Structure 1
Amino acid sequence: MNRFHVHLNVADLATSIRFYTELFAAPPTVVKGDYAKWMLDDPRVNFAISNTGRAPGVDHLGIQVERADELSELGRRLDAAGGEVLPEPGAICCYANSDKMWTHDPQGTRWETFHTLGEATSYYAADASCDSEGASCSPRAGQPAPAARASAAACCAPSSSCC
């Protein structure tokens, strides 16, 4: 079963963890110095927050799938929707190893579709093709143009963001 994904940038991680722990009536399933994630079943959502230097607010939305064939199907649907789709196999991001595809909706909202393969020990891949500041990693060629360029010290999209 697919899981909706929301990733927010936050100004104060500890305060945000306390807030969302109360809101969801559950502690995060992953907590790092710059990141926290709740894998909720009601509602079925992968809700993540990070404090990596980007402006607070919605970073991106997404759909997490359980199997590789489901990711392929989502890729076909994204392609049919008409947006540029950027595959990112074997991505290290948000303390996970995942195969991903990125796109932007007509308003410029970033969408991530992904299949998580396992855990990672870092927020992003230190050996990936990083931007000039070294804090964001993503493929370079064919990446969708972002609606508005954000700070480079962040995660989770190939628009000079991360992972």
Structure 2
Amino acid sequence: MNRFHVHLNVGDLDASVRFYTQLFAAPPAVLKHDYAKWMLEDPRLNFAISNTGRTPGVDHLGLQVDSGAELAALGKRLDAAGGTVVPETATVCCYAKSDKNWTEDPQGTRWETFHTLGEATTYHAGDAACATDGAACTPDVAAMKPMADTGGACCSKAAACC
């Protein structure tokens, strides 16, 4: 079953954790010095916040799936929607290991579809082959090319990755 995902950049992580803990009537499932995540069942939501120096507000939206097959199906739907789809495999982001597809909607809102494979000990990895910008593990989709255009590397923007 899919789970809706929202990632916000926040200016004060502690104040935001207190606010969302009260709003959701539950503590975060993951709490780090720069990141917190709630895995809610009602509504079925993966809600994450981070304080990594980015402008506060919505960083990206997404859909979390339970299998690689579901991720592949969502990737086909993203491709059919007409945006550039940037795949990431075995990436470390937000204290998790995941396979992902990124795109932007017509308004420029970043969308992440992902299948979480396990936990990670860092917010992001230093892997220069990933498709992320390093600040909040979200890509600059407009500056990247799909995997097929990069000879197997997942993105063309390898310089300031993760």
Shorter-normalised TM-score: what interval?
A: 0.7 to 0.9
Moved >6 Å (runs of 4+): none
Corresponding residue for residue 34 of structure 1: 34
Matches within 5 A, 1:115-130: 115-126=115-126, 128-129=127-128
Question: In structure 1, the residue corresponding to 2:27 is in which secondary structure?
Answer: coil
Q: CA deviation at 1:16?
A: 0.1
Q: Which runs of 5+ in 2 are unaligned?
A: 141-156
- Number of matched pairs: 144
Q: Is the 8 A contact 2:124 2:134 kept in 1?
A: no
Q: CA deviation at 1:94?
A: 0.1
1:124-155 C-alpha deviation (Å, 9 max, x unpaired): 002x11xxxxxxx8338xxxxxxxxxxx6621
The percentage of aligned residue pairs carrying the same residue is 69
Task: Give, in whole Å, the separation in 1 of the partners of 2:134 and 2:102.
Answer: 18
Q: Which runs of 5+ in 1 are unaligned?
A: 130-136, 141-151
Give the alignment's TM-score, normalised by structure 2. Answer: 0.84
- RMSD after superposition: 1.7
Give the alignment's TM-score, normalised by structure 1. Answer: 0.84
Q: Is the 8 A contact 2:131 2:161 kept in 1?
A: no
Of Structure 1 and Structure 2, the greater helix share is in: 2
Task: Give, in whole Å, the separation in 2 of the partners of 1:53 and 1:26.
Answer: 26
Corresponding residue for residue 138 of structure 1: 130
